[in-house]
Amino acid sequence: RYHRPDKEDIDWSFPINTKNYSYTTTMNETNILRKIIDSYKPELFVTLHSIQFSGIHFYFSNNYVNLFDKIESFVEKSAIPLQKGTPFFIEDGWTYRPGFYRIYTTKEMIRDYIREGIDISTLRRGEFSAGYYLEQNPKGIALVPEMPLYYDLELNNLEIGEKTKKETFLECNRIMLETLDYIEPIWNKYREKLNNKNAHFMRIAEIIKNWRKEIKEEMKITRKEGSD
């Protein structure tokens, strides 16, 4: 899976200008999308995302029950399971119904972080495209399908697991920290021999530079919230 460096991530590079945080768009691709949204104000906006391991699930701007019925029926005919268990990065209050969640914008995240006293200095992204679209066209329909790169039919098993959501999330973060412990010395040893203009180089460089602090901040948030 190729992931652009944050500063080149088109879908998360729309402008934000608030009292506590600002992000300026410089990418031509993003500015072209802004012009299309601003000029035409389409009634429907869809941006397809990919996720590493999950069932397929959807973010919507509103609770469109009839539409959800049709989408769920369509997904059931495919080989990919619908993510009926709540993904670890989803708050329960965001759920319209299993597999269908409300859109949570970057501005909302910043507002909540500031209210809860969470450090936002590590943020390196703007608003995402659906959030920007809804700002310009509040009555429009925004849809973000999350398509998994990998999945397992065990995702259809809805039995309650032995670990809480909090325990699972903290374990995932510990594994990521261990991975960073492993790759960081290798990176430091060979980085001078690599092409620093390559997009993969830039992505790895920002991971090494920023992720450890971000992961520890996420773990602090998880412990504070005490999510089950």
Mean pLDDT by 10 residues, the chain (228 residues): 70 91 88 95 94 91 96 92 75 85 93 84 88 96 94 86 85 94 95 88 88 86 67
Taking the C-alpha atoms of residue 155 and residue 57, their distance in angstroms, rounded to an integer, is 12
Q: What angle do CA 165, 168, 171 make, to 5 degrees?
A: 150
H-run or E-run covering 141: strand 141-150
Taking the C-alpha atoms of residue 223 and residue 182, their distance in angstroms, rounded to an integer, is 25
What was the pLDDT predicted at 33? 95
What was the pLDDT predicted at 155? 86
Separation in Å, CA 39 to CA 14, 69, 137, 175: 16, 32, 11, 46
What was the pLDDT predicted at 87? 64
3-class secondary structure per residue, 97-132:
ECCEEECCCHHHHHHHHHHCCCCCCCCCCCECHHHH
Taking the C-alpha atoms of residue 225 and residue 23, their distance in angstroms, rounded to an integer, is 28
What was the pLDDT predicted at 89? 61
Tell me the backbone φ, ψ of residue 192, rounded to 5 degrees. -65, -20
What was the pLDDT predicted at 213? 87
165-190 vs 199-225: helix crossing angle, rounded to 10: 150
What was the pLDDT predicted at 26? 76
129-136 vs 28-40: helix crossing angle, rounded to 10: 30
